[in-house]
Amino acid sequence: MKDWVARTLLRLYPAPWRREYGPELLDMLTARPLTAGIVTDILQNGLRQRLRLAEPSSLVGLAMLLIATVGFALNIAAPSPDADESILLRQHLLGSNLYILLLIGCGVWTHLRYGGELSQAGLAALKITFLAGIPVMLAGILMLFGILRIAVIGPGEAATTFQQHGFTYTYYSAQSYCWLRVADPAAHPLARAIQLTMCPPSPLGVFISPLLMLPASWLWGLVGGSLGRWIACGQRPLST
């Protein structure tokens, strides 16, 4: 039993660390009693090592996932009474200029840290968008199955409270956001029907919106990787 616990604790550390220091730590854990203090130290050090060796895309992606999850929960529990700029930014964060700068920055970070092909920076940005989009896709699934209701409010309308609307997501329509633009809905009824079905705040539109951003995210990651390559070339000493 003690050997199993020790090996389980060792799994908390990243694989490169385990390959170098794992056998020594395992011997130490099996040779002494596993007190609460020792287990706590193992947990803290394992987390520290994982953060130190984690890829930039993992750190940024998990941070974005946390931000999106908290924003999603706050929207249901305590929606803002009206659509101010901060609310609209959080609602359309994955399509904002701020998010594009984040993807470019991660591409730069990835290339400066690992080098290699520019596609690695593109994949890093793609990973961030996928992680950040998980809460959004989950919300879309809950809407599709009728578990989560949606309330759309426009300019000048006030949002209801949780006590009034229950398990409901409040969508602020003061700013339209859709991958499909229809200039004249009356002249293009089919395109308008597709827009209403495939774009937020429709359940299917909410679900697929992060997936539609993956190709663009990959391209912004490539931009960041190219910028990182340019920075790296400028930092290399000139050969004589």
For the stretch 116-144, pLDDT in tens is: 899 999 999 999 999 999 999 999 999 99
176 and 115 together in one domain: yes
The predicted pLDDT at position 141 comes to 94
Whole-number Å distance between alpha carbons of 30 and 34: 8
Closest by CA to 107, choosing from 125, 119, 93, is 125
24 and 97 together in one domain: no
196 and 210 together in one domain: yes
Would residue 33 count as lying in a domain? yes
Query: What's the whole-model pTM score?
Result: 0.75
> Poorest-confidence range of 40-54, 59-73, 109-123, 207-221?
40-54
Number of domains in the chain: 2
**Cβ atoms of residues 193 and 106 within 8 Å:** no
Average pLDDT, the chain: 83
212 and 97 together in one domain: yes
The predicted pLDDT at position 240 comes to 46
Phi, psi angles (nearest 5°) of residue 124:
-65, -45
Residue 103, judged by CB atoms within 10 A of its CB (0-12, 13-18, 19+), counts as buried
Domain hosting 45: range is: 2-51
Phi, psi angles (nearest 5°) of residue 118:
-65, -25
162 and 46 together in one domain: no
Alpha carbons within 13 angstroms on the beta-carbon side of residue 134 total: 15
Would residue 240 count as lying in a domain? no
Q: Which of the 8 DSSP states describes residue 95?
A: G
Structure tokens belonging to residue 213: 């951003």
Q: How confident is the model at residue 30 (pLDDT cuts 50, 70, 90)?
A: confident
25 and 82 together in one domain: no
Count, residues in the chain: 240
pLDDT digits (tens, 9 = 90+) for 145-186: 999 998 888 777 778 888 888 899 888 875 556 666 666 666
Cite the beta strand spans of the chain per DSSP E: 149-153, 168-172
72 and 184 together in one domain: yes
The predicted pLDDT at position 196 comes to 67
37 and 147 together in one domain: no
Would residue 40 count as lying in a domain? yes
39 and 60 together in one domain: no
Cite the beta strand spans of 80-187 per DSSP E: 149-153, 168-172
61 and 47 together in one domain: no
